[in-house]
Structure 1
């Protein structure tokens, strides 16, 4: 599953601890039997992680980000979103193999395991570990250290052994399900030459992962299921309105028509959406208790819809092949619209990513994530405060009253940063909401009256 040489080139540019406890030899056979019985009884009641078993999901979410960053520098957000979705769906499948409460994605045991006494928390940890280990063999030591910490706390016993088995099987099922999903393909791209067609943006001589438009979705029927409407014609009034807005408000120039607050949130939301919205989920999780099954489902849905937002967004981007504001503004004298004026030296506030404008996938991921989190945490109006690594030093944190409010500001930030036309962010929000609503309605549904 190694990426192609071309993808390696592009990604470069975009840029155990093993604990083994041996029983003392002087213990008698009777004492050993008593210890094993006590250990098994304790693990069956899940006392080893008590009411914080859900923390395992959060820990492995952070571990996944760390492993991706160590291996690739986190330069490819599409690939990262796929990995995150696979890890969390495998964890979800593992805990629901131990005790079914929600439908699974890839793993369905041939024989019912609900009465096996398998430790669901151990199953979740092993599933996450095995998915990541298959993708990042050079990160084995880091991964094994995290897994050993969990297994050391869990102890020994039949339930632990059964949990390991289920976790390994859930991971294997996930890996097999996604083995030929199109993520390792390669596709050539030639920039357009006509007005309105995408041309390489400053600093890049390629388009990021054009093949991603055909990757197998996690929640959608097909990449084009929710393909957005086309951008407005270059000669239309709607185009002029959005052209003038991003030209005035998204400029790098000191006289840009952008408030201090708009400048701050343009920078704040600049980081990759998949990374930012996982941090939002972890932040909210601190104040929103969930058990292991609920937490696993929350992060599985969140990452599945964001992975699909990239896939669906790439489908529409490649389909319409629309130019970015930086190109449109610098070459406005070619668009056959007398109401637009070229500015040959115009620059956006922030660097434009090397992919087409329409729709904004940054906006799509935020909207999809907001739907998934509102579903998981009992409603949209959940207040939170979060820092961002791309924020300006004078404004490292922002506070929000709801997920939807955060998603809207996230989308607006792309106009303020000079990266997207308004119509692209509007389309992105609509796309993300469609993906999110379908997923929470149809995917990983409760079974047997579970909530």
Structure 2
């Protein structure tokens, strides 16, 4: 009996020692590093690029995904408060029943990635990111019951945000009719090389996040079409783009290429066509969010806040811009120059498939830069490496506004926008950014 008791005791000690060895103390430093959140957002961006979402749709995905991550952090007891009641139609989001059992940074990443996963096509790619986060938690020694509770809470918040998203009229716009091209002079028509139909003609029907209506910051009217009178404002506007396109400097080309952000560039080689995929304008600014947070050494919560606040501004910026595009329905430089001035002229950049006025890059960039300036101040020197993976060098900026201005004027150099679309688009974007800043109370 004494021998048997000794064996049992020894076995128990062995099991205890093995358990201690296989389950090291929970070290959450790696999981709570803000760079991990940025890397997870980047994985969402990679899927958006792979699945070829248009600029407006991409920003809608970013907005809902990052709001899900933010709402988790808002319930963590830190300095941020929920956006429930501040964003149109957003009800109170679930609070954890046992906060002590939740690792909030991990739950925020799970919520963000799970929401993004539900809104893209290549779900397996984001599922791999989620599985990687879980594996990192196990490797860090997170107790099994905490991991289970944390994942469940992230999924719970994600489900609430996805439920809210269904009321924004996006599904209804999928059933909307295609845009009808008219023969009226000065109106938009499809452009080469693909002559694609206009994308998202019903985008102004979406529920905004903070704006009262899609037309809250309606643009001034563009110049009246007139290519007969060389002294008319319209002719001079067209001639400026024609002249710029024929005398591009190396710096202007670099700017145009850097901010191209065409998610689906059609390339023709003989009888073969193929697409080149890149980040959208919104995706570029989402990447700048990560650069800004890292440069400023922002903590995890502020990093999460940065992405959500900028994504909201970007999404509403595209609603404002698309509302105007299909109101003014203005012809693109390439079309008017080829018809009235030079049939062989080509813009440096490929013309996107939607009307010209106002410039989406200008609206989105100004909105994002306005919010980022409020979050991190000015000046804010940074090197933008967003396009390095697409074979382009970094560009250096003294501030977010300087980067926004560069993005806006790059559309002139690219030959795809007239100056009024850039100037008025920038004004609209500033107003959207200020509205987001004024309306959203995120810090307690």
TM range (shorter): 0.7 to 0.9
Q: 1:131-154 deviations in whole A, cap 9, x for unaligned?
A: 133234444642343332343236
Residues 1:126 and 2:110 aligned together: yes
Match of 2:335 in 1: 327
The aligned residue for residue 169 of structure 2 is 182
The residue that corresponds to 1:246 in the other structure is 241
Give 1:78's aligned residue: 56
Q: Aligned pair 1:427/2:418, yes or no?
A: no
Cα deviation for residue 112 of structure 1 reads 7.0
2:81 to 103, 108, 113: 103
Partners of 2:92 and 2:136 in 1: how far apart? 24
Greater alpha carbon shift after TM alignment, 436-445 vs 134-143: 134-143
Which of these residues, 41, 44, 47, is aligned with residue 64 of structure 1? 44
| Alignment deviations for residues 323-364 of structure 1 (CA, whole Å, 9 cap, x no partner) | 1111222233xxxxxxxxx22222111110010000001111
* Residues 101-152 of structure 1, C-alpha deviations (whole Å, 9 max, x = no match): 3232346356676954522112112202321332344446423433323432
Cα 1:159–1:148 shift into 2, 3 Å: closer
Cα offsets for 1:403-433 (capped at 9, x unmatched): 1111101100001110000000111111111
- 1:97 offset after TM fit, Å? 1.6
Question: After superposition, what is the alpha-carbon deviation per residue over 1:147-170, rounded to whole angstroms, capped at 9, x for unaligned?
Answer: 323432361165544433331221
Give 1:183 deviation, angstroms. 2.4
Asked if 1:167 corresponds to 2:154, the answer is: yes
> In 2, are the aligned partners of 1:217 and 1:223 still within 8 Å (CA)?
yes
Q: 1:361 and 1:189 mapped to 2: Cα distance?
A: 18
Q: Distance in 2 between matches of 1:132 and 1:148?
A: 17
Partners of 1:189 and 1:68 lie apart in 2 by: 24
Distance 2:37 2:65 in 1: 10
User: CA offset at residue 444 of structure 1?
Assistant: 4.5
Distance 1:29 1:90, change over 3 A: farther
The CA distance in 2 between the partners of 1:297 and 1:114, in whole Å, is 23
In the alignment, the residues of structure 2 paired with residue 392 and residue 119 of structure 1 have an alpha-carbon distance, to the nearest angstrom, of 36
Residues 101/158 of structure 1: CA separation in 2 closer, same or farther (3 Å cut): farther
- Taking a change above 3 Å as real, the CA distance of residues 322 and 154 of structure 1, as seen in their structure-2 partners, is farther
Residues 129, 352 of structure 1: CA spacing in aligned structure 2 closer, same or farther, 3 A cutoff? same
Task: Mark the runs of 5 or more structure 1 residues left unpaired by the alignment.
Answer: 1-25, 251-255, 333-341
Residues 1:120 and 1:111: Cα distance change in structure 2 (over 3 Å): closer
Highest Rg: 1 or 2? 2
Q: The residue matched to 1:385 in structure 2 has which SS? A: strand
Structure 2: which 5+ residue stretches go unaligned?
1-10, 84-89, 262-279
Residue 146 (structure 1) aligned with residue 136 (structure 2): no
Confirm or deny: 8 A CA contact 2:198 2:354 kept in the other structure: yes
